[in-house]
Amino acid sequence: MTHARQQTIQVVAHRGASEEAPEHTLAAYRKAIEDGADALECDVRLTADGHLVCVHDRRVNRTSNGRGAVSTLELADLAALDFGSWKGREESAESPDWDPGREPGRSSEPGDFTSVLTLERLLELVADAGRPLQLAIETKHPTRWAGRVEGRLLEMLKRFGLDKPPGDPDVPPPVRIMSFSARSLHRVSLAAPAIPTVYLMQFVTPRLRDGRLPAGAGIAGPGMRIVRNHPGYIARLHRAGHRVHVWTVNEPEDVEMCVRLGVEAIITNRPKQVLAQLGRG
């Protein structure tokens, strides 16, 4: 591997630095920023009262002390839950010199480990990061809600001025939207063509084996299992003119393989370790 090749790969913190802090908490994203991640990844769901929150699962059972579907709960209901103690404070802060609440001019707050995180608060964190930082947002939603999640998301990105391309053509767009749903990405591409879209894949369907992507998708997002089992598929995606962002890449041998195949982004729970392996730590 050459150092030049390594530097071209974007390191994306999956749900924040989620191996070291509870996923989708402010602490996890602050840790990822401190570790030097190039971008942050989050999942968004819509609450019953119309707020976008960063929660992966359809239900809150796994990552909180509550129960129920996000779509049936209001933000106040979610705010009353503990979204971090399941991981354990000792496990969450393995780095002895890391203060999870530390921001310039700000003291540590225990709620950073446990409070539900709204997309609005995450966007504020990115805006205050003090350096260029991209955000990869995955839409999650019940199909019965049709385009409500995408519509609410685009409204918020517009409010933060993130729905337009940067003035400098050499500067990458600050936000991209990802989904396993081709229909969701098609909605986004029609409503906000300047925002890049990533089609996430757990397996390769016969229709897509030649490297094509569904309408509205501009970037390929294969899972690491696809990369291991079908490395030639990455070359087909590149020949078709698509960038490749791979999830979730945690093991050193998988990072090594992604580098050899020339992927453009690695999405990982371990941004600090991956950056070190790429010679950037």
- Residues classed as catalytic: 14, 56
d(CA 216, CA 188): 8
Give the distance from CA 40 to its chain's centroid.
Answer: 5
Closest by CA to 54, choosing from 113, 118, 112, is 118
Closest by CA to 112, choosing from 122, 127, 123, is 122
Distances (CA, A) of 68 to 12, 42, 182: 29, 20, 27
Provide Rg for the chain, Cα atoms: 18
d(CA 139, CA 159): 18
d(CA 223, CA 91): 26
d(CA 174, CA 160): 11
Classify residue 68 as left (phi > 0), alpha (psi -120 to 50) or beta: left
